[in-house]
Amino acid sequence: DTYKVGYFIGSLAAGSINRKLAKALVRLAPKHLEMEEISFRDLPLYSYDYDADFPPPARAFKQALASVDAILFVTPEYNRSIPGGLKNAIDWASRPYGTNSFTRKPSAVIGTSPGAIGTAVAQQSLRSVLSFCNSPQMNAPEAYIQFKPGLITDEGEVTNDDTAEFLRNYMAEFHAFVVRVYTVLPRGG
């Protein structure tokens, strides 16, 4: 079986190192994972005033989430948490009440930073949010990628063999996790 994975890139920056990481993960993913980006760039700032009538970008966003079997978060750490844009997107996805897009949708978290702890604190913070949103999360392997200049090219080619192997294994484990989740849960729910 093939599974569709929607990936979020937490950064909106043109030169985002997390976008490079996401490109690498797409290249290294097992062929049974069909990868597509879910963009949150066009979402307004969320308020529950929108709940009665979501604007078109928010509807498209919710539809994109409904169409995937699993979600991969590739995110930077901003001020020891996740970027505001990503949190805004998650808040949209969780609403209106009773239509939380994350519930029972398996997810995994990964990120890169030039700093040595490689987004660990942001990932921990994101995991709390995803727990509340009832997303079954891959616990292990964890992946805290310290970005050194040239580690991943703009096209997503990983220039260090050990890192490439680590990321390939991470995606293989994510595939195995998604398969396990759907032996218990119905798909398309």
Binding footprint of ligand FNR on the chain (CB under 6 A): 11, 13, 16-18, 76-80, 113-115
| Minimum distance from residue 61 beta carbon to ligand FNR (Å) | 20
Question: Cα(165)–Cα(158) distance, rounded to whole angstroms?
Answer: 9
Backbone angles phi, psi at 91, to 5 degrees: -60, -45
Nearest CB to ligand FNR, comparing residues 137 and 146: 146
Q: Select 111 or 136, whichever has its Cβ closest to ligand FNR.
A: 111
For 22, phi then psi, to 5°, come to -60, -40
Per-residue burial over 90-106, b if 16 or more Cβ lie within 10 Å, else e, is bbbbbbeeeebbbeebb
Residue whose CB is less far from ligand FNR, 39 or 100: 39
Output the smallest distance, CB 188 to ligand FNR, in A: 32
Residue pair 122/81 in contact by the 8 Å Cβ criterion: yes
Would you say 6 or 85 has its CB closer to ligand FNR? 85
* d(C-alpha 133, C-alpha 17), whole Å: 27
CB of 79: closest distance to ligand FNR in angstroms? 5
Q: Which residue, 69 or 77, has its beta carbon nearer to ligand FNR?
A: 77
From 116, 89, 112, select the one nearest 23 (Cα to Cα).
Answer: 112
Q: Which residue is listed with tokens 């590739």? A: 74
**Least Å from the CB of residue 80 to ligand FNR:** 4
Minimum Å gap between C-beta 160 and ligand FNR is 18
